[in-house]
């Protein structure tokens, strides 16, 4: 059979609320044309993020009842610890309430002024935690990763030549660790090859520098390796994931992605001294080392999620359902970032709206129009998020790419929901020449995309 179906049936449903075009127009206006300001109730299909939005399985919900809420020595912690150790091989598993809490602890210990932390591309919370420590967060993506139309297999890779040049130039003391984000979330969810992980690790080892994975989407990355990298077609996903982790000295993880839970994360590492320091901070900021900011029932659901995410029928459906959306949009001529990534489709807003310049925020205009057309919430990833306007001179510095992300929550929407999304975006594409740019009428000093207010331009 060629049809790939959702490998689950639905036991509990959550009704959607439909709104009219007229209602959505008023909602947008009231929200200052910022989709973060819209109540989730007023959204029909929510593709804002894939983080913490997964549907849990009956087994996970059952596990929630079994969760052991003991302050110390909870059996749910030992279940999670055993699962993570089996998967990653790391000696120390430190639970945190989400990924950024693991980052905060790691960079509190390893960051600091004068240091540089390279990554294929830092996720924004990773960058923020490194910068808060006083260190520099350096992105070293491969050049082909920045070309939206190029169809290549592993556009999430680290630029190894650039990394080697950096390691040669700087003294090893300045580089406390090297990170690799799998999949490369900030670069359109593109995967990293096993060869790239292996070579990054080898390079780090030759300079005696610890190597960490940002493992948020390790299972999606492992599936891409199985699909695309020679030699892995007959290897199980668990074996591929174990090999990925085997090259690293530790990892940070947000369970809100490939943990298939609504909340959770961990820091895992091999170094005994570092682990002791991490646990000392954990007790002060998150909680005792056997719960680390999570309820026992969260630990339990997380342990089940990490097993379920490795199931091949799940990953086949997951990766296929994202590429299905990409292929349908591509067939309509809608410009997307190629090839489809693991968790989202990124619309290329500059190619979609070539008449709207970067300083008039084509991604924001497009995201608002998609909401207006069908109640679909997406996320601008362009000059609103990464561009800068100098408050004194008014000089505008655009982002590298103007994109709109359609992130797909795990196990939440069916194929007909996705068909509806395609129809709606196709409709917007038909009338794209009529769309107008946007102007920022209020912006906060940092992370402006969350709270900025906009106004549509008249011409
Ligand atoms: C989501 C994410 C994080 C942060 O995790 P939170 O659970 O949201 O704190 C870090 N890195 C990557 C790549 C992510 O996608």
The model's pLDDT over 304-347, given as tens digits with 9 standing for 90+, comes to: 999 999 999 999 999 999 999 999 999 999 999 999 999 999 99
Sketch out the chain's domains with CATH numbers: 21-50+312-456 (3.90.1150.10), 58-308 (3.40.640.10)
Cβ 255 under 6 angstroms from ligand 1: no
Q: Give yes or no for residue 459 having a pLDDT over 90.
A: no
Rounded mean pLDDT, 176-204: 97
Cβ 126 under 6 angstroms from ligand 1: yes
Instruction: Give the residue whose CA is nearest to atom 11 of ligand 1.
Output: 123
Per the CB < 8 A criterion, the answer to whether 197 and 161 are in contact is no
pLDDT (tens digit, 9 = 90+) per residue, 279-306? 999 999 999 999 999 999 999 999 999 9
Cα of 458 from ligand 1 centre, angstroms: 37
How far is it, in rounded angstroms, from Cα 222 to Cα 176?
A: 27
Q: Choose the residue to mutate in 52, 98, 125 for probing ligand 1, maximizing ligand atoms within 8 Å of C-beta.
A: 125
Cβ 265 under 6 angstroms from ligand 1: yes
Cα of 15 from ligand 1 centre, angstroms: 28
Phi and psi at residue 49, to the nearest 5°: -155, 160
Per the CB < 8 A criterion, the answer to whether 85 and 281 are in contact is no
Return the pLDDT at 29.
Answer: 97
How far is it, in rounded angstroms, from Cα 5 to Cα 321?
A: 9
Return the pLDDT at 447.
Answer: 80
Return the pLDDT at 94.
Answer: 98
Mean pLDDT of the chain: 96
pLDDT (tens digit, 9 = 90+) per residue, 52-71? 999 999 999 999 999 999 99
- For the range 386-390, what are the long-range contacts, defined as Cβ-Cβ under 8 Å and sequence gap of 24 or more? 387/358, 387/359, 389/440, 389/443
Cβ 449 under 6 angstroms from ligand 1: no
Cα of 296 from ligand 1 centre, angstroms: 21
Cα of 426 from ligand 1 centre, angstroms: 31
Q: Which atom of ligand 1 is nearest to the CA of 265?
A: 7
């Amino acid at each position: 059979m060629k049809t790939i179906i959702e490998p689950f049936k639905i036991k509990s449903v959550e009704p959607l609320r439909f709104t009219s075009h007229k209602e959505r127009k008023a909602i947008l206006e009231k929200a200052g044309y910022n989709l973060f300001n819209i109540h989730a109730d007023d959204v029909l299909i929510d593709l804002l993020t894939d983080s913490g939005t997964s549907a849990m399985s009956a087994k996970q919900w059952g596990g929630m009842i079994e969760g052991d809420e003991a302050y110390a020595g909870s059996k749910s912690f030992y279940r999670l610890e055993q699962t993570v150790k089996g998967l990653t091989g790391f000696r120390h598993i430190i639970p945190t309430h989400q990924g950024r809490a693991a980052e905060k602890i790691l960079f509190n210990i390893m960051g600091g002024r004068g240091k540089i932390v390279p990554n294929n591309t830092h996720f924004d919370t990773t960058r923020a935690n490194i910068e808060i420590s006083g260190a520099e967060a350096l992105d070293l993506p491969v050049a082909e990763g920045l070309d939206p139309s190029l169809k290549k297999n592993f556009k999430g890779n680290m630029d190894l030549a650039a990394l080697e040049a950096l390691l040669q130039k700087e003294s090893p003391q300045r580089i406390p660790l090297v990170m690799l984000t799998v999949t490369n979330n900030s670069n359109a969810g593109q995967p990293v090859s096993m060869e790239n992980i292996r070579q990054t690790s080898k390079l780090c080892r030759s300079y005696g520098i610890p190597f960490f994975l940002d493992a948020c989407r390790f299972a999606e990355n492992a599936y891409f390796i199985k699909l695309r990298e020679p030699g892995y077609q007959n290897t199980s996903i668990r074996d591929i994931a174990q090999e990925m982790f085997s090259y690293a000295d530790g990892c940070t993880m947000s369970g809100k992605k490939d943990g298939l839970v609504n909340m959770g994360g961990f820091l895992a590492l091999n170094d005994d001294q570092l682990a002791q320091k991490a646990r000392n901070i954990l007790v002060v900021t998150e909680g005792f080392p056997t719960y680390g900011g999570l309820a026992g029932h969260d630990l339990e659901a997380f342990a089940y999620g990490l097993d379920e995410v490795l199931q091949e029928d799940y990953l086949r459906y997951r990766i296929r359902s994202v590429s299905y959306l990409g292929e349908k949009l591509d067939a309509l001529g809608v410009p997307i970032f190629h090839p489809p990534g693991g968790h989202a489709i990124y619309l290329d807003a500059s190619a979609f709206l070539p008449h709207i310049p970067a300083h008039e925020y084509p991604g924001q205009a497009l995201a608002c129009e998609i909401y207006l057309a069908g109640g679909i919430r997406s996320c601008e990833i362009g000059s609103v998020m990464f561009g800068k306007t100098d408050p004194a001179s008014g000089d505008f510095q655009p982002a590298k790419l103007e994109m709109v992300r359609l992130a797909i929550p795990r196990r939440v929407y069916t194929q007909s929901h996705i068909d509806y999304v395609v129809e709606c975006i196709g409709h917007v594409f038909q009338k794209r020449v009529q769309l107008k740019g946007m102007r920022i009428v209020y912006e906060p000093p940092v992370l402006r995309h969350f709270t900025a207010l906009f106004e549509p331009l008249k011409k």
